[in-house]
Structure 1
Amino acid sequence: MVVPKIVPPKTSKGKRALEKREPKIFENPKVAMLIKGGNTSQIVTEALRDVGMLKKPHAISYKKKNIVRPFESEHSMEFFSDRSDAALFLFGSHSKKRPHNLVIGRMFDHHVMDMIELGILDFKSIAEHVGTKVAAETKPCLLFAGESFEKEAEYKRLKNVFIDFFRGPVIDTVRLTGLEHVLQFVATNGKIYIRSYRAILKNSGCQIPRVELEDIGPSFELVMRRTKLASDDLFKRACKVPKEAKIKKTKNIAHDPFRNKTGRIHMERQDYSKLQTRKVKAFKSLKKEKAEADK
């Protein structure tokens, strides 16, 4: 076996590029590759373009056509992943046997981990939806509905891939007025529906606003075709969290999903008779009356 020779960087720019690719305790937002196959349809091209708009700025679009068959050979996808330093991909193709085809997948250590092939039955692009759009780099709220996402193994993994693909950067806090984009995924009757909404907050006459959803696109109606999923051992290894990233457990201190610290304080029972209260003349007269009654 020939061990590849590691060439040290000669410039500071090259050194920074290698440091950027090194493993980190807290990962950067995952980058997605949008790749065209050797033959694509207008629907597939528009779908790749719209998904790229949702993923901006963490998306790389390959404009040229690439004769690649992910399920037959994974080497091409791994080459693109290593070249672009990307962990997610969406591959689009079109053929008589598999019309309007999308393959969504992810990498682990620049090797293909999960691949799921989806067929587009119906599609409506962003351009076809009339209305105000959501600003770029807006973190979406992901909603999932359907028993298939909870019971069937393939749909469970597809849900996990969708979360990985569309979740955006990890944040510490969420502002209510900043929650503008909603992505909904529904699995029913063997089909998967994806809808994109803009959340509008309106006056409701109380502190909690009334929320309305406006369809802004894109809209997908998909069907699952083929899958190639990672084994349980590989999936467990990919989900392993470094010790440095784990929050150390401390007695009576916990953390919520947004990593906010919450604590519990234990106090002795108070003697309310010794509690300092506001000094009022009416209270003094009551004390005198009580003392005289006791005598």
Structure 2
Amino acid sequence: MDALDRVVKPKTKRAKRFLEKREPKLTENTKNAMLIKGGNANSTVTEVLKDIYALKKPFAVMYKKKNITRPFEDQTSLEFFSKKSDCSLFLFGSHNKKRPNNLIVGRMFDYHVLDMIELGIENFVSLKDIKNNKCPEGTKPMLIFAGDTFDLSEEYRRLKSLLIDFFRGPTVPNIRLAGLEHVLHFTAVDGKIYMRSYKVLLKKSGCKIPRIELEDIGPSLDLVMRRTHLASDDLYKLSLKQPKALKPKKKKNISHDVFGTTYGRIHMQKQDLSKLQTRKMKGLKKRPAEKSAEDGGISPKKTKSV
């Protein structure tokens, strides 16, 4: 049995908190990513990994030592690192003559590789090459996807889902306007994926709504898709399954219209309006003729007392 698979009983409170953090939860923790260099990674791939790590911090782990592994042939080492560092996302960089400047981006499900897509770097501009003010560490980016290719091909649909998982950051309950300062733009056209990173500048516009400008801060990547390893439809559907406790309960007899107005339906027994008690007024009192008509048209005669 693998050393990471055995049952571990905590001996200290710190170890207990560490294990509780890794336990399954209704609302999972923010997904962490591990960035790994291959055995023959060159300077370009190393710089790309450093820049992606700078965008992903603090939800990332950077392995500085080179690891001789081939993810498309043997995935055991990636699964081992995933368990060790509690990361469900990974980015592997390598370089060789057949596939120069190679990146493999993927994600895990139950510490096993779910999806994996290989991308080739054709053009790269680093963070340090663009002399502009950068966004603070841990800024949650806004993701923009342009191009019909992301919706037409199954491989590009999975790539879009994978990139959203990788860069989305933590889930926040509230958003402030000044916090929307980082944009990641992905464009798919002519078989290539263009990744650009911008900083949002809020300028004066003479009204309450500011004028928005985008400033390139890097990194910039021109990528091309090479190989893919996609999960089957059944496994992919299983990975998207949510606990019953998180599913919203359906409320009976409540509906909404297109404008968002809420309507409620009330079930009542059929009412007899003839027995409805109204306000007592002289004008609403029934006359003797009306009462006799209701009783059958025959009014009883009064007998004189002797």
Whether TM-score is above 0.5 comes out as yes
CA distance in structure 2 between the aligned counterparts of 1:133 and 1:253, rounded to whole angstroms: 47
Larger mean Cα displacement after TM superposition, 129-138 or 198-207: 198-207
- Within a 5 Å distance, the mapping from 1:160-179 to structure 2 comes to 160-179=161-180
**Whole-Å separation in 1 of the counterparts to 2:6 and 2:137:** 42
1:264 to 262, 265, 278: 262
Q: Deviations over 1:62-117 (max 9, x none)?
A: 00000010000010100000110100000000000000000000000000000000
**Tell me, what secondary structure is at the counterpart of 1:95?**
coil
* Distance change in 2, residues 1:186/1:5 (3 Å): closer
SS of 2:46's equivalent? helix
Q: Distance in 2 between matches of 1:263 and 1:17?
A: 46
Matched to 1:68, the amino acid is T
The residue that corresponds to 1:223 in the other structure is: 224
Distance change >3 Å, CA 253–CA 91, structure 1 → 2: farther
Calculate the TM-score normalised by the size of structure 1: 0.84
* Cα offset, 1:253, TM superposition: 8.0
What's 1:213 paired with? 214
User: Residue 287 of structure 2 corresponds to which residue in structure 1?
Assistant: none
CA contact (8 A) 1:145 1:185 kept: yes
**Residue 235 of structure 2 corresponds to residue 237 of structure 1:** no
State the shift of 1:26 in Å.
0.2
Deviation at 1:171, TM superposition (A): 1.0
Change (3 A) 1:97 1:52: same
Percent of aligned pairs with the same amino acid? 60
Alignment of 1:120-139 (within 5 A): 120-139=121-140
The separation in 2 between residues aligned to 1:53 and 1:241, in whole angstroms, is: 31
Partners of 2:63 and 2:93 lie apart in 1 by 11
Q: What is the match of residue 285 of structure 1?
A: none
User: Where does residue 8 of structure 1 map in the other structure?
Assistant: 9
**CA displacement 1:144-170 (0-9 Å, x = unmatched):** 001110110000000000000000001
Report the equivalent of 2:114: 113
2:99 aligned with 1:98? yes
Output the CA distance in 2 between the equivalents of 1:167 and 1:129.
24
AA aligned opposite 1:31: N
* CA separation of 1:5 and 1:66: change in aligned 2, threshold 3 A: closer
Where in structure 2 are the equivalents of 1:1-295 lying within 5 Å? Answer: 6-250=7-251, 252=254, 264=262
Distance 1:100 1:89 in 2: 17
Q: Is the 8 A contact 2:255 2:263 kept in 1?
A: no
CA distance in structure 2 between the partners assigned to 1:249 and 1:173 by the alignment: 25
Counterpart residue type for residue 104 of structure 1? V
- TM-score normalised according to structure 2 size: 0.81
Q: Distance in 2 between matches of 1:183 and 1:209?
A: 20
More displaced 10-residue stretch of structure 1: 13-22 or 122-131: 13-22
Structure 2: runs of 5+ lacking an equivalent: 265-306
| Number of the residue aligned with 2:301 | none
2:7 & 2:127 partners in 1: Cα distance?
46
Task: Give every structure 1 segment of 4 or more consecutive aligned residues whose post-TM-superposition deviation is greater than 3 Å.
Answer: 249-254
Inter-CA distance 5–104: structure 2 relative to 1 (3 Å threshold): closer
Q: Secondary structure at the match of 2:245?
A: helix
